[in-house]
Each structure stands twice: as C-alpha cells, then as structure tokens.
Amino acid sequence: MIFGFAVVVAVSALLVALWSFVQSMRNKLPDTLLLVALGVVELLLVAQLVVGIVLLASGEKPGSVATYLAYLIGCLVVLPVGAMWALAERSRSSTVVLGIACLAIPVMVLRLNEVWSGASA
C-alpha cells in the first residue's frame, strides 16, 4: 500500500463526514454537492483498489491476501450503500447516515494498511 495515498483517502472521507454532520445539524437534506463529494471519495477508493491490485500483481504480498482483498473491495461498497439508504429516506437522519458511512472509510483504510504491513486476520 502507498501510505500517503491512504492518508489522502482517509482525510477526504473524514472531511466529507464532517460536512455531512454539519449539514445534519443545520437540518439540511443530502444535496447534490454532498453527493458529488461522496463520488470523489469513491473515485479515490477505486484508485486505491487499482493500486492495491497492481501491487499484488507485481509480487508484493500482504499478511493475509484474503483479508486484504476483503477490505479493499469492502471499502468500495460502504459509500454506495450509504448513499442509496440516504436517497431512499430523504430526511435529516439520511445526512447522518452519509456521515457514518464516511467515518467507516478511514477505519477500513487503517485496517487495510495494517493487513498490508503484515498483520494477519
């Protein structure tokens, strides 16, 4: 894993989470700008997936390949599921759902880096 890129992904997700919680406190529904920000984080996660697969293909191995791939792919699923939930129930709490989904990303990226560094399951 490229640690600097992982930090960029985690920080961007934290900023969007903060924005979501501020929007919720202001009683705002998820707007287009917030959804675009989620899309940017998702694009960063796709880039992370590509980098991770390239590193695996080049012969580098994490502590547990299965766990690594599970976190790598799992990161991609969290934001779309959160966005679908938020768009299905357009309310103040849907903005909180987006914030919580964004908070899950740095945790998963941290765990992804731990597994890459040699930690097993």
Per-residue pLDDT of the chain (121 residues; tens, 9 = 90+): 788 999 999 999 999 999 999 999 999 888 899 999 999 999 999 999 999 999 999 988 888 899 999 999 999 999 999 999 988 887 778 999 999 999 999 999 999 999 988 765 5
Residue 86 lies in a domain: yes
Q: Determine, yes or no, domain membership for 66.
A: yes
**Considering the domain boundaries, does residue 121 fall inside one?**
no
Total structural domains within the chain: 1
Whether the Cβ atoms of residue 115 and residue 50 lie closer than 8 Å to each other: no
The model's pTM is 0.89
Cα gap 77→36, rounded to integer Å = 16
Full domain range(s) for residue 82: 3-116
82 found inside a domain = yes
Please check whether residue 78 lies inside any domain of the structure.
yes
Residue 102 lies in a domain: yes
- Residue 72 structure tokens: 């790598």
